Structure 1
Amino acid sequence: MKLSEGVEASIHCAAMLAGVEGNATVSGAAMAEAFGLSSSYLLKHLNALTAAGVLESLPGPSGGYRLARPAEDISLLDIVLAVEGPQPAFRCGEIRQRGPVKLPASAYAKPCGINAAMLRAERAYRAALAGEKLSDIVAAFMDEADPRSVAASCAFVARHQRPQKSGSPKQ
């Protein structure tokens, strides 16, 4: 299975936003800069995360993005589904019912075994992603990453976060 680069970018952005203080935001342009992505490319994914309720978008010159709920309430599955959509990765086209060995429809009364196996694997994959919380990923990064990487990431967030004067603070 291959997930889009947008999934990786979205997870990194959500992890970055887990480090902002209070109800501050970080602009999409700053996050694009941090990860060497075009702003227009990243904006598409930030909008999907906002529509899915993972992020909150605040307009205006000091606006930007922040987590819509606590990092411990955001799973990798939430992010993957926001970016990739809810459809399963495998979509059975019932090709067994085509070609020169095609039989009458009555021969295909039982569901395709390949489709059933792929859907079982999809359920296991989604369950594993649902168990991976954004807060755990951020905590592991803080504990296990090279201290230079942690310092650089924290300094970037501190430099680019935009304090908000009004509105409810992030939960």
Structure 2
Amino acid sequence: MKLGEGVEAAIHCAAMLAGVDGAATMPGAAMAESFGLSPSYLLKHLNQLTASGILESVPGPAGGYRLARPAERITLLDIVLAVEGREPAFRCGEIRQRGPTTLDASAYVKPCGINVAMLKAERAYRTALAEAKLSDIVAEYVSDADPRSVAAGCAFVARHQRPQKSSSTKQA
């Protein structure tokens, strides 16, 4: 299974936003710059995260994005589903019922074993992602990463975050 590149960008942006102070925001353009991404490409994924209730979008010249809920309440599964959608990665097309050797439908009453196995794997994968909290990912990074990388990331956030007077401004 291959997830789209947008998943990586979305997770990194959410992790970056976990470091923003209080009600402050971070402009999408700054996050795009930080990760060397096209702003229009990243905006698509930020909008998906906003529509899913993971991020808040604050309009205006001092606006930007911030987490809509604490990082402890955001899982990697939340982010993956926001970007990739809720459909399973594998979708059985019942191709066993096509072609020259196809039998009457009564020969196919048992579920396709391949579909059963793939959906079992999907459940395991989703369970693992649901257990991975954004706050834990950030904490592990801060404790294990090269201190220079942590310092550079923190300095970038401090330089680009935009303080807000109130956290009551919300746009979905």
TM-score category (smaller protein): over 0.9
Within 5 Å, which residues of 2 pair with 1:19-168? Answer: 19-168=19-168
CA–CA distance in structure 2, aligned partners of residues 118 and 167 of structure 1? 43
RMSD: 0.9
CA–CA distance in structure 2, aligned partners of residues 156 and 134 of structure 1? 19
CA–CA distance in structure 2, aligned partners of residues 51 and 28 of structure 1? 15
- 1:55–1:67 contact (8 Å) kept in structure 2: yes
CA–CA distance in structure 1, aligned partners of residues 86 and 167 of structure 2? 31
Deviation of 1:165 (Å): 1.1
2:13 is matched with 13
Normalising by the residue count of structure 1, what TM-score does the alignment of the two structures yield? 0.97
Q: Which secondary structure does the structure 2 equivalent of 1:162 belong to?
A: coil
Residue type of the alignment partner of 2:29: A
* TM-superposition CA deviations, 1:57-79 (whole Å, max 9, x none): 00000000000000000000000
What is the aligned length? 169
Q: Which secondary structure does the structure 1 equivalent of 2:88 belong to?
A: coil
- 1:56–1:68 contact (8 Å) kept in structure 2: yes
Deviation of 1:166 (Å): 2.2
Deviation of 1:168 (Å): 3.9
Percent same amino acid at aligned positions?
80
Q: Which secondary structure does the structure 2 equivalent of 1:65 belong to?
A: strand
CA–CA distance in structure 2, aligned partners of residues 4 and 124 of structure 1? 19
- Provide structure 1 residue ranges, at least 5 long, that are not aligned to the other structure: none
CA–CA distance in structure 1, aligned partners of residues 168 and 106 of structure 2? 60
Runs of 4+ more than 3 Å apart: none
Normalising by the residue count of structure 2, what TM-score does the alignment of the two structures yield? 0.97
- Provide structure 2 residue ranges, at least 5 long, that are not aligned to the other structure: none
Residue type of the alignment partner of 1:68: A
Deviation of 1:100 (Å): 1.0
- 1:25–1:66 contact (8 Å) kept in structure 2: yes
- 1:27–1:64 contact (8 Å) kept in structure 2: yes
CA–CA distance in structure 2, aligned partners of residues 122 and 41 of structure 1? 27
Q: Which secondary structure does the structure 2 equivalent of 1:25 belong to?
A: coil
